[in-house]
Amino acid sequence: MTQSPFRSRPMALLFLSPLILLTALFFYWPVAEAIRWSFFLEQPFGGESTFVGFANFRRVLSDPEFWKSLKLTGIFMVTASVPAVLVPLMLAMAADRGLRTSRIARNVLVWPKGVAGASIGVIFGFIFNPFVGILTPLNQLWPGIWSPGTDGVDAFITLIVANLWNGIPFNFVILLAGLQALPDTYAKAAALDGAGPWRQALDIRLPLLAPQLFFVLVLEFTESIINAFGLIDTMTRGGPGGATTLLVYKIYADGFKGYDLSGASTQTVLLMIFVLLIAAAQFLLMERRVKYER
Amino acid sequence: MTLTLERPVAAAAKTGTDIRIEGLAKTYPGADSPVIPNLTAHLRAGEFTVILGPSGCGKSTLLNMLAGLEAAPTGRIVFGTREVQALAPRDRGCAMVFQNYALYPHMTVARNMDYSLRIAKVPRAEREARVAEVARMLELSALLDRRPSQLSGGQRQRVAIGRAIIREPQVLLFDEPLSNLDARLRNETRMELAQLHRRIGATSVFVTHDQVEAMTLADRVMILNKGRIEQFAPPSEIYAAPASTFVAGFLGSPPMNLLAVESRNGRIRLPDGGTIGCRRDGMFQLGIRPEHIRLGAGAEMRVQFREELGSHSVIALTTPDGARLRVTAPPGGTGDALRVSFPQDALHLFDAETGLAVRELLIRT
Ligand SMILES: Nc1ncnc2c1ncn2[C@@H]1O[C@H](COP(=O)(O)OP(=O)(O)O)[C@@H](O)[C@H]1O
Ligand SMILES: [Mg+2]
């Protein structure tokens, strides 16, 4: 057991109170409200609301648009998270072999994590613009090959790349720290056992990195679902033709553009359940395997 | 642990190779002085060499250079007829036991031991046979499916040894493998290692800072001081004729007494009142082991303190010159003063400036 740095509980609570207050105000309270609203029929411009039981849920669950956006959310979660973990993993493994120190580099690298999704969206919207962006030459060679404005797949790719760029720094730093924390005697023992760099990476470093990999994967899965909003809102606005209308964006569109507050709240609750299930499944499937004692 | 073997596990290692180290030097990047300035030595095939020296003297560096884990930019390392200093670790045929064992935490005992065989693409049947044999030899058969975290320190140590010998290496390297064990286990494992070495016959290099390990295990001890060889000789010779004050002061418990003396007109006055002839005048260090000092006759010296060790006691005396002199005595003595004398044939002489032994200058009568 480690000794608590605070001598008294009230003291600890005092220091935590701003965070608790913020979390309560901007997280728990809205969550409670969303759950409450999902059982009421809300008037778009205020006024009486009536308790309707599970009617909202029945309505949303029988709407094919909901299922389509949930499917897109699932696809985005996997196709965006996997590269956002794999690319930093490769970078970290490469960096671990060369750069053993350089704190400055690590600090600079983590900065993109501090950039809001919306800002990233604006930048990448420009980069991937079919007329002035970096892929413009492609269109000159093969007209129409790159067209995120009209092609759903292209639009989806822009989202994945923007999400990847956003995820690299943090995941890179976590994975690199995990690699650098491995005692180098494992690598020495493996070298003497005859393992070359590739086998060392696959047989020794990767399995020993499992706790950090698991951590970034769980975070990336849940975050990609939420973080996508800022990217979609600035880059594709859910289009073309609903191809990038993930559930987070649909909730926003239904609630604030379609004035269907009850429907939006219900979908919010369903999205929360979805995220919860994904996280729970990850813990159930993987956590037992990644635990090992040094 | 009983070491019963129908056939030696390391048939190939019977041809353990000799190791020639020529002009080896090493300076770590950023360091202003070399860890190893210039080292030349020849380790015979099948020999058990112990590298002994204080912490930080470059023992691990030397061992890692033999293994290929540390670059050897200057000098040559030759295993048998192969020059290896530029080869990768896996092309050298060394195996190593590390101080902290370095067992792969995510692999079972069996996997830890046969990992090198898998890499070498040894067929499964042979792998299993070899694991079974090594496990039986090291009494690990019941533990093959455990993870390292489920083993005691002594068991981990044996897995580490098993992992090293399973490949039947020509060269076996040990970096302070016993220092994480408790005293009793260390004694046991030490004896087992000696037996094991005799059975497998690989050329072994064992690094330690523990003189008991060095004296009991070694065919020859290489005493290292700041990356230089002070003496490279069998344990008995190191004890009987230390080549320098460093060696004299490092070995023995308590170590040899070293007293500053002056030779004038061909004679050195000894602290016990006697004199001994010397072929050269000047300043010297006179050495005598505590256990060689004779009690009951000679000069009387005051007792500073006594340490009772059960089997014997160690008594610190003050010489007439004010220096400290340790003697060993039968246990349980009392009294404020003791009479001591120095037998002539137990005396060692070292040059005061270089610290090197100049035993031949003494004229014993
Ligand atoms: N990787 C390294 N980089 C720089 N200096 C090192 C490195 N490894 C060891 N040293 C230094 O080299 C000297 C010898 O180290 P080492 O060979 O580990 O000694 P020993 O094993 O005898 O205790 C020490 O002063 C140590 O600080
Ligand atoms: Mg060392």
Which pair of structure tokens corresponds to residue B266?
């061909």
Distance CA B98, CA B161 (A): 9
Is the CB of B102 inside 8 Å of chain A's CB atoms?
A: yes
> Is any ligand 1 atom within 6 A of the Cβ of residue B81?
no
CA distance A290 to chain B (A): 9
| Contact at CB, B100 and A194, closer than 8 angstroms | no
Which residue from A minimizes the CA distance to B113? Answer: A193
B105 and A292: CB-CB below 8 Å?
A: yes
Residues with CB under 5 A from ligand 2 (ion): B 60
Q: Do B90 and A192 touch (CB under 8 A)?
A: yes
pLDDT one-digit tens code per residue, B244-284: 999 999 988 899 999 999 999 999 999 888 899 999 999 99
Q: Do B100 and A196 touch (CB under 8 A)?
A: no
Asked if A184 is an interface residue toward chain B (Cβ–Cβ < 8 A), one would say no
**Of the candidates A186, A194, A292, which has its C-beta nearest B120's C-beta?**
A194
Q: What ligand 1 atom has the least distance to the C-alpha of B57?
A: 22
Region of residue B330 (left: phi > 0; alpha: psi -120 to 50; beta: else): beta
Q: How far is CA B143 from the centre of its chain?
A: 31
Which residue from B minimizes the CA distance to A208? B106
Q: What is the pTM of this model?
A: 0.77
Most confident of A97-106, A109-118, A129-138, A262-271: A262-271
- Tell whether the model's pLDDT for residue B60 goes beyond 90: yes
For residue range B313-344, list pLDDT tens digits in order.
999 999 988 899 999 999 887 888 899 999 99
Establish whether residue B189 lines the binding site of ligand 1, counting it when its CB lies within 6 angstroms of any ligand atom. no
CATH of span A60-289:
1.10.3720.10
Residue B60 Cβ inside 6 Å of ligand 1? The answer reads yes
**Which ligand number lies closest to the CA of residue B58?**
1
Helix residue ranges, H only, chain B: 59-67, 109-119, 124-137, 153-165, 183-200, 211-217, 235-240, 245-250
pLDDT of residue A109: 61
Q: Mean pLDDT over residues B169-174, rounded? A: 92
- CATH T-level assignment (fold) for domain B10-240: Rossmann fold (3.40.50)
Best mutation target among B70, B90, B127 (most A Cβ atoms within 10 Å) is B90
Mean residue pLDDT of chain B comes to 89
Neighbouring CB atoms inside 10 A of A39's CB total 18
SS3 A129: coil
With cut-offs at 50, 70 and 90, classify the pLDDT of residue A105.
low
Query: Is the beta carbon of B58 within 6 A of some atom in ligand 1?
Result: yes
- What's the order of all strands across the beta sheet hosting B267-269? B348-351, B282-288, B257-264, B267-269, B275-278, B362-363
Tabulate helix, strand, coil % of chain B (nearest 5).
Answer: 30, 35, 40
pLDDT in tens, A185-201: 898 999 999 888 888 88
CB contact under 8 A, A195 and B119: yes
Per-domain boundaries in chain B: 10-240, 246-363
Q: Which numeric CATH code is attached to B246-363?
A: 2.40.50.140
Residue of B35, B174, B179, B206 to mutate, ligand 1, most atoms within 8 A of C-beta: B35
Q: Which residue owns the Cα nearest ligand 1 atom 14?
A: B58
